[in-house]
Amino acid sequence: MLTIAWDVDDVLNGLMRSWLELEWLPKHPECLVKYENITENPPCRILGISEREYLKSLDAFRISDKAGLMKPDDDILNWFQKYGRHARHLAITGRPVSSIPQVSGWVFKYFGNWVRTFSFVPDRVEEGIIAYDANKSEYLKWLGKVDIFVDDNFLNVKAVDSLGIKGILIPQPWNAAKIPLQETLNLLTKILNVPND
């Protein structure tokens, strides 16, 4: 049975959209940026803000009740319901340690029927936090159990190629994914050698 590692933010959930629409825009009504305009991640230049201001706002949202109420991506959840039993699954995210309790609970609330392992690589150097791995590909190399890696960041997907892991890029406005989400999930189903309904 193959093992799939799933990125959490903007793959299993819609963190960027939720942050923009529920946190940033209500506090900045003068901002006319729509989710579809977020063609860079991080979106600092598009929003006309510093990386520090962006991360402060995003980090506050990540631990908020609003973030806890995010629904999973419907297409991804439907895929798990139909095909999840045909593979082993783990979740991996790059976040500050302070937001891990909230996001891990969220993952197991919605995907706990399939996901048995939750992993994270802190995305920033924080005082007192041990840095075992610099990025997700280093972590996956150490783990040595993953066959497929699903992420919204092209560089993360590309980095696992040299490890012999099949990378799947989930389409988002900021990446170069060429095929729509449903076709991407159909490709994943074919890799698992499961008949696609």
Q: How confident is the model over 163-179, as pLDDT tens digits? A: 999 999 999 999 989 99
Q: Backbone dihedral region of 152: left (phi > 0), alpha (psi from -120 to 50 degrees) or beta?
A: alpha
pLDDT in tens, 56-84: 999 999 999 999 999 999 999 999 999 99
Label residues 16-29 b or e (16+ Cβ within 10 Å = b).
Answer: bbbbbebbbbeeee
> pTM of the full predicted structure?
0.96
Map residue 121 onto helix, strand or coil. coil
Q: Both ends of the chain: CA-CA distance in Å?
A: 20
Q: Quick check: 123 pLDDT over 90?
A: no
